[in-house]
Amino acid sequence: MIGIGNSFRGDDGVGLAVAETIRSLALPGIEVLAATGEPGAILDAWAGVDSVVVVDANMTKDSIPGRLRRWTPEALVELPVTSSHSFGLPQTYALGQALDRKPRSLVVFSVDIADAAAGVGLSAPVAAAVHDAVDAVLTELGCSRDGTSAF
């Protein structure tokens, strides 16, 4: 599981908050990585890995702060790039395909945000979405908060 974000840019830290919550559960067989979104680090993290779940912030003109959405590689082309650099997840995945450094299975959960300005802490609607995002990731991974199989 990879949580992407920047905890010094307000709601952009939501992916990191989800990753930290999942890490605190100490689930057997689940590796958790916090990342800034730098493509090389993401490609290194998912190279040779069977399944990856990513959580990242998403901001568009029609964002509804706290809304959780699920994306797969087929739909990543629709995922708007919300990044302080020009390379987002769709571009990173395309590069991974070209370099044969992508996971067999990738699911991305995005949490809509309204602001990624400098500052620490999540807004109320985005903070409230962390619980739902954690549950969605755990369901995707086939486990529960206590580490037992959900199947």
Percent above pLDDT 70 for the chain:
89
Looking up tokens 């995945």 gives: 93
pLDDT tens by residue, 23-44:
999 999 999 999 988 888 999 9
Looking at the whole model, is its pTM more than 0.85?
Answer: yes
Q: Identify the CATH class of 2-141.
A: alpha beta
What average pLDDT does range 127-148 have in this prediction? 91
**Domain range summary for the chain, segments of one domain joined by +:** 2-141
**DSSP characters over 127-151:** HHHHHHHHHHHHHHHTB-TTS-B--
**Coil/strand/helix, residue 73:** helix
Contact 104, 50 (CB under 8 A): yes
